[in-house]
Chain A
Amino acid sequence: MDQDPPRPTPQQAEAMRRRRRGRNIALFVVLVALAALFYAISIVRLKQQGPF
């Protein structure tokens, strides 16, 4: 028979929620920065290639 998994204490649950939020914010910042970087790289490379 399956046993229930251990449940976090309220303090652990709160800490988990806080950390998950921190990770999500960090991931968001990284993704936005990467999108901006790839955009800038594309513009520079297109300029280097000259007009089509």
Chain B
Amino acid sequence: MSESSAPLGAVDRGEQSPLPAYEPLAAYEFAETDVRDWIALLKPRVMSLVVFTGAIGLLVAPGRLNPVLAFTAVLCIAVAAGACGAINMWYDRDIDAVMRRTRNRPIPAGRIEPGAALSYGVTLAVGSVIVMFLAVNLAAAVVLALSIAFYVFVYTVWLKRRTPQNIVIGGAAGAFPAVVGWAAVTGSVDLVPLLLFSIVFFWTPPHFWSLALYANDDYRRAGVPMLPVVAGARETRRQIMIYTLLLVPLSLAPWYVGFSGPVYGVTALVLDAGFLVCAFRVLRDRQDAAGVSLTGDAPARAAFRFSIAYLFLLFAALAVDRLAG
């Protein structure tokens, strides 16, 4: 038996002992990671919104999909979204380490080795597309692959660190799941899924910029050119208002093209009114000459919270309307 095979936990530290003294392991050496870290890599909170919009796309599409295949389609959407999160965390590990909000993520905190996170993300991404193709159909698999590629290459690698319009164009990645859900049932893409896509696309800037307004210091420290960092808080508040105004007619479009009924129409009107009020309060937030909020960005925090409820309720109303109608 070799000297190095002595059991762990031996306590003999005499001078004749072949064992080195105990010493705390560095983070990467202490790499028996917790299951929760691997789940955290999938960004479960983002995943929940993606799963929801994907499931709604599937529910409101004309036609019927076997429940097992419908479950598989939603699972593939969820896994693909998680894979994007893992790859994003791998690529952004340098900026995550300097941002308060993200520095305790598994990679910057040293609990998961970067290469392992990348392999995990790529495996899940490829696996989700293959299963979608084999179990559901080609159209859904193609749109799913497109959404993964868009999120990873267009948003994460190309846009995020280069332009303050990063989340405007990157918002498309979050808008894909509804289209994937629709394509899973119909095998094609037409006007209605594109409307759902547009709603999420135009919802993303006011949603994310509301967060960016009060997480401004984090993004500045990390050198990420978010709109508040590059153009200032005042301009960001103006852009939030503009995008919310653009969102209103789009959110009503399923109603006036005849795809949905009054349940959706009335819900959309009420939610739009609420979102406009939130955006207006953000615009009129008390601020100093430099545009810095004097209220601790209370209106932006409220707008961020409302925006999440907005999308959930809007899409839920669409599903209720379609299923009841």
Find out whether the CB atom of A6 lies under 8 angstroms from the CB atom of B68. Answer: no
Find out whether the CB atom of B33 lies under 8 angstroms from the CB atom of A7. Answer: no
User: In the complex where A7-B19, A9-B22, A16-B30 touch, is A44 in contact with B68 (Cβ < 8 A)?
Assistant: yes
State which of A19, A20, A41 has its C-beta within 8 Å of the C-beta of B72: A41
B98 within 8 A of A: no
Find out whether the CB atom of A6 lies under 8 angstroms from the CB atom of B23. Answer: yes
How many Å from the CB of B136 to the closest CB on chain A?
9
Contact sample, A vs B, 15 pairs, CB 8 Å cutoff: A4-B20, A6-B20, A6-B24, A8-B8, A8-B22, A8-B25, A9-B24, A10-B9, A16-B30, A19-B32, A19-B33, A23-B38, A26-B38, A41-B69, A44-B69
Find out whether the CB atom of A41 lies under 8 angstroms from the CB atom of B33. Answer: no
B29 within 8 A of A: yes
Find out whether the CB atom of B72 lies under 8 angstroms from the CB atom of A37. Answer: yes
A49 within 8 A of B: no
Residues facing A in B243-272 (CB within 8 A) are none
B135 within 8 A of A: yes
A binding-site residues for B, Cβ under 8 Å: 4-10, 12-13, 15-17, 19-20, 22-23, 26, 37, 40-41, 44-45, 48
User: In the complex where A41-B68, A41-B69 touch, is A15 in contact with B32 (Cβ < 8 A)?
Assistant: yes
How many Å from the CB of A27 to the closest CB on chain B?
9
Alpha-carbon gap, A5 to B31, bound state (A): 14
State which of A12, A20, A22, A23 has its C-beta within 8 Å of the C-beta of B24: A12
The 3 closest A-B pairs by CB, nearest first: A16-B32, A19-B32, A4-B20
Find out whether the CB atom of B25 lies under 8 angstroms from the CB atom of A23. Answer: no
Contacts of B9 in A (CB 8 A): 10, 13
Alpha-carbon gap, A22 to B4, bound state (A): 27
How many Å from the CB of A43 to the closest CB on chain B?
8
User: In the complex where A13-B8, A16-B30, A41-B69 touch, is A7 in contact with B22 (Cβ < 8 A)?
Assistant: yes
Chain B residue nearest to A43 in the complex (CB):
B68
B1 within 8 A of A: no
State which of A4, A6, A19 has its C-beta within 8 Å of the C-beta of B25: A6
Chain B residue nearest to A26 in the complex (CB):
B35
Contacts of A8 in B (CB 8 A): 8, 22, 25, 30
Of the candidates B22, B72, B134, the one having the most CB atoms from chain A within 10 angstroms of its own CB is: B22
B190 within 8 A of A: no
How many Å from the CB of A5 to the closest CB on chain B?
8
Residues facing A in B113-172 (CB within 8 A) are 134-135
B66 within 8 A of A: yes
How many Å from the CB of B290 to the closest CB on chain A?
48
Chain B residue nearest to A25 in the complex (CB):
B35
B34 within 8 A of A: yes
How many Å from the CB of A8 to the closest CB on chain B?
5
Contacts of A12 in B (CB 8 A): 24-25, 30
Contacts of A48 in B (CB 8 A): 66
Find out whether the CB atom of A44 lies under 8 angstroms from the CB atom of B22. Answer: no
How many Å from the CB of B3 to the closest CB on chain A?
9
